[in-house]
Amino acid sequence: MKNIYIKTWGCQMNEYDSSMIAKNLESTGQYLITEKYEQADVLILNTCSIREKAQEKLFHQLGRWKKLKDKNPNIIIAVGGCVATQEGKEIFKRSRYVDIIFGTQSLHKLPKMINEVEKNKKFVIDISFPKLDKFNSFLPIKNTGYTASISIMEGCNKYCSFCVVPYTRGKEISRPSDDVLFEIATLAENGIKEINLLGQNVNAYEGPTFDGKICFFSELLRLIAEIDGIERIRFTTSNPIEFSDDIIEVYKDTPKLVSFLHLPVQSGSNKVLELMKRSYTTEEYEKIIEKLIKARSNIQISSDFIVGFPGESKKDFQQTINFIKKINFDMSYSFIYSSRPGTPASEMKDEIDLQEKKERLYVLQDCISKQTMSWSRKMLGSQQYILVEGKAKKNPTQLYGKTENNRIVNFYGPQKTIGQFVQVKINEVHTHILNGTLL
């Protein structure tokens, strides 16, 4: 038995991919997953290329692992994920002690690739896009928690000017609906109560069915809601372009779908949205939100924002702040724009000073933080339906769970409620964490 250590950077899709890597390797009976990299026979780095200086971060990590390999030349180092797909052999040229480079769609081949390195002592690379082959190696697993994420589709066809995802994950392709439903049903049998559907654009899902038809995202949501044991459904991430009326209708008749939606807008300026090639306007985005509120009056919205995009003027930034206040976003993921090699935006002239970008980011995050706290205050004295996930991190005598709108609630209660949905009255609020009393 060999020890495998997996280090994961990036989004929930990468976390899901790493779980698939672990499942596939353990299923061979040859490997054990370890949380201590010093004990590993195989070191696997699953990378993300979204953030700035992703490549440099990769080589710094590889440099640390090189010290282990200098002491033990038999250690195998494998690099996968988005940076691996983007850089390919360039990684090996710069770090010739790397043994394996695998892509986002070829991770299921890793057991075979490891065996090949052990046998031939030669560098192996596979960054091909064999559609959905990696999902064909799905193995049912027993979960120790009560929430789980599953990927329902891969890739992106939108080609926003700032984004590398279409180049690292490929074109949009949806998993067959029966495969998705089978995986979720298996998770439910193993105690999972809450499911989170993953994809670069989940609302673009068009999964083939067993009878040759197409299952659209709205239909998939309703089918998942019928699975015994699944009590709460989330999804991320959506694109406003394809957030169609049939999806909005699901909020009217499917209470298991949470009253919380992450819908990235990126900017509140139509000029900047056009430069980003987002293919919608702030007015169109606002209409979607209006329809959602009509369908589910208590829904809360979170979003993504890029600050300091090339061409963003002070006026454009102020329009974004005004838009944030108008929509009254609950939360956001916000970042200073960073150029990604190979994207159209990387060719744009960036004349915004870094200090100006930092100041804009501070203003935006401060605005969102105040709105988050305002939403939390509205919960004071309310009764919240939460899934109890375990012992509170800071006080193990307490339990914790999450509300539909992603607040952590700490409270005192019996251990037997872990894994159950309970009603808690909120008696103290902070920005993201609440305290309550079990009812």
Residues annotated as binding site? Answer: 11, 48, 82, 156, 160, 163
Nearest to 315 by CA among 278, 351, 275, 271: 271
Rounded Cα distance between 206 and 219, Å, is 10
Rounded Cα distance between 84 and 240, Å, is 29
How distant, in Å, are the alpha carbons of 32, 160, 217, 276 from that of 279? 46, 9, 21, 8
Tell me, rounded to whole angstroms, the distance of Cα 225 from its chain centroid.
Answer: 21
11-36 in b/e form (b: 16+ CB < 10 A) is bebbebbbbbbbbbbbeeeebebbee
Q: β-strands 214-216, 206-208: how paired?
A: antiparallel
H/E segment holding residue 332:
strand 331-336
Rounded Cα distance between 81 and 8, Å, is 9
353-391 in b/e form (b: 16+ CB < 10 A) is eeeebeebbeebeebbeebbeebbeebeeeebebbbbee
Residue stretches of the annotated binding site for [4Fe-4S] cluster: 11, 48, 82, 156, 160, 163
DSSP collapsed to 3 states, 358-390: HHHHHHHHHHHHHHHHHHHHCCCCCEEEEEEEE
127-161 in b/e form (b: 16+ CB < 10 A) is bebeebebbeebeebeeeebbbbbbbbbbbebebb
Rounded Cα distance between 8 and 149, Å, is 15
Strands (E) in 1-128, as ranges, are 2-8, 31-33, 42-47, 76-81, 100-102, 124-126
Rounded Cα distance between 341 and 347, Å, is 9
Q: What is the dihedral of CA 103, 105, 111, 113, to 10 degrees?
A: -40
First-residue to last-residue Cα distance in the chain:
49
Nearest to 5 by CA among 34, 29, 38: 34
Rounded Cα distance between 85 and 119, Å, is 24
Q: Which amino acid is at 245?
A: D
